[in-house]
Structure formats: structure tokens, C-alpha cells
Amino acid sequence: PQIGPQEFQQLADQFNQMSGRLRDMFEKLRVSEEARSELVANVSHDLRTPMASIQSFVEALQDDVIQDQETFNRYLQTIRLETRKLNGLIEDLFQLSRLHAGAIELHQHTVAVDSLFVEVLHSHYMLLRETGLEVEVRVPDDIGSIWIDEFEIKRALGNLLQNAIQYAPVASTILFEARPSTGDFVELSLRDEGPGIDENDLKRVFDRFYRSDPSRGREGGGAGLGLAIVQSIVERHGGKVGVDSRIGEGSRFWFTVPLNRHGLS
Ligand code: ADP
């Protein structure tokens, strides 16, 4: 059968479209493969550093060169801290990979926002007291209750609070706030009076392993997984995450969670 110039043009267009789509697919595959190798490199580095430190301190202890009790205790304390860091990292990685694989099933139920905030604050009580930070909680009376997996959302708020505690200046105030959001969602947020985040870093803080200048924080900080975990938990709830921040003015991290639409209170 003969193909007219019009049909030929149509076929050529279709072919071009298809090859464009294929190119996009290959590009996506290439990017995700690169991301995977970067992830493995980051994990290896973050595991290796505390491991090497533990190993050298254990060897020093074994070599019997330490005479005084004080040095001995200091070495043991370092080993303890590094081991805790390793445990935290492994726990975060495990959590993140389970969230990404969709292996974490949400158990959503009705939760009151004010009691959620209070419980998160209670579980960080010691840390807050040590740093002398003030906390303010603002929850409007008519905010309603939310429909969440309480354990997971507490973990998300806990990660945000740990960051706020790490970056907030001594004796400053951390603000917990709930506001109505668009659709059937409520926005929960944490504001600190810390150093703020550079505009270039803002887009990337939720990326896995992303850390900006660690010297701005109170202590070294984690592996850069905390916010990636927050994002995964919130997205599993159908919500959104974000951050508003300016250098020198502090940061406000927020996320949305579904309102309780089940008529229960
Ligand atoms: P981690 O705290 O383990 O480094 P996160 O994913 O929690 O990792 O945070 C990523 C980066 O975002 C941090 O290294 C820091 O640069 C920045 N960041 C997070 N929270 C704050 C905050 N409250 N104030 C300033 N910078 C922050």
C-alpha cells in the first residue's frame, strides 16, 4: 500500500515522539543509577568514619598504653558516642529504605493536635532542659483532629525538633504551630530562631544525605537523613513538606497531614 505525504508526516511525528520518550526514560534510568551509586558511597562513608574511630580507640585501650583512669574513661565515652551514632544511622537507613519500599503500613487514627505536640515535647524534655530553650505551642481551638499514624508523625516532628534544638541559640524560643491548610489538611510547623538556611541550600535540605555547613549547628549533626525521613512519612500520608527560612532570621519547617474526616473526635 502507498503512503501519502500526510500519513508519512504523521508516522514521522509519532516516531519522533516515541524516540523522545525513550530518551527521557533512559535519562531517568541513568540518573537513578547515578543516585544509587552516590547513595552507596555516602552510606559507606558515614558507616566507615565512626567504625574507624571505634576501632582506633579499642586498639588504644587494648595496647595498655593508657595509664590514667581519666583518659581511659574518655576513650570509653568516645566509643559509646560513636557506637550510638552508628546505631542511629543504621536505624535511619533502615527506616528510610522501608518507607521507600512502601513496606511501612500506616495505622491511621484520630489524634488531637495539642496532645500530639505535648507528647513530642515530653519525649525531648531532657534535651530541651539542657539547652535552656523556651517552647511555645499555638493550636487554634477549632483546628479539629487529624487522621494520622501517630507513631510515624511523632517521629517526623521529633526529627524537626531535634534539628531545631541543634540549631537554635541558647535561651531562644521554638514555636510549635498548627494552622488550617487547603483542602482537608492541617499544617503543623516548627519555627526556630537559629542561623537560617541559605537560599541555595533550601531546595536541597530534604534530599537524602544533604548537609549544609555543619559548623553552624551546635554539634556535628547527623548523616543528613532526618529530613528525608520526614518527607517520606508525610508523603505516605498524602501531605506536603516545606521550609521557609532566611539567613539570620531562623527557619520554619512545616508539613501537612489529613484532617480527621471520619466524624470521630
Ligand atoms: P542532619 O540533621 O542529620 O544533618 P537533616 O536531614 O535533618 O540531617 O538536615 C539536613 C540539613 O538541613 C542539615 O545538615 C542542616 O544543614 C539543615 N537544617 C536542618 N534543620 C535546620 C534548622 N532548623 N536550621 C538550620 N539548618 C537546618
Q: Is 144 in the pocket of ligand 1 (CB under 6 A)?
A: no
Q: What is the pLDDT of residue 263?
A: 54
What count of other Cβ atoms lies within 10 Å of the Cβ of residue 139?
A: 19
pLDDT tens by residue, 93-108: 888 888 888 878 899 9
- The end-to-end CA distance of the chain, in Å, is 70
- Those residues with Cβ within 8 angstroms of residue 241's Cβ, 6 or more apart along the chain or in another chain: 206, 227, 230, 231, 234, 235, 253, 254, 255
In this prediction, residue 221 has a pLDDT band, given cuts at 50, 70 and 90, of: low
Residue nearest to atom 20 of ligand 1 (CA): 163
- CA angle at residue 79 from 76 to 81, to 5 degrees? 110
Burial class (CB in 10 A: 0-12, 13-18, 19+), 131: middle
Ligand 1 pocket, 250 CB below 6 A?
no
Q: Does 218 score more than 50 pLDDT?
A: no
The per-residue pLDDT for 180 is 95
H-run or E-run covering 77: helix 69-100
**Residue 179 near ligand 1, beta carbon < 6 Å:** no
Q: Select from 43, 160, 163 the residue to mutate for testing ligand 1; criterion: most ligand atoms less than 8 Å from CB.
A: 163
Residues 243-264 have a mean pLDDT of 90
Gap from CA of 29 to ligand 1 centroid (Å): 29
Identify the pLDDT of residue 1.
58
What is the number of the ligand 1 atom nearest to the C-alpha of 227? 6
Asked if pLDDT for residue 220 goes beyond 60, the answer is no
Q: What value does the mean pLDDT take over residues 255-261?
A: 93
117 with 153: CB under 8 angstroms?
Answer: no
Which residue's alpha carbon is nearest to atom 19 within ligand 1?
163
164 Cβ inside 6 Å of ligand 1: yes
For residue 146, what are the contacts with CB-CB under 8 A and spacing of at least 6?
A: 110, 111, 113, 116, 186, 257, 258, 259, 260
pLDDT (mean) for 124-130: 90
| Angle CA 212–216–220, to nearest 5 | 80
Atom of ligand 1 nearest to the CA of 229: 6
**For strand 241-246 and strand 134-138, is the pairing parallel, antiparallel, or unpaired?**
unpaired
Q: What distance in angstroms lies between residue 147's CA and the mean position of ligand 1's atoms? A: 27
Helices (runs of H) and strands (runs of E) counted in the chain: 7, 7
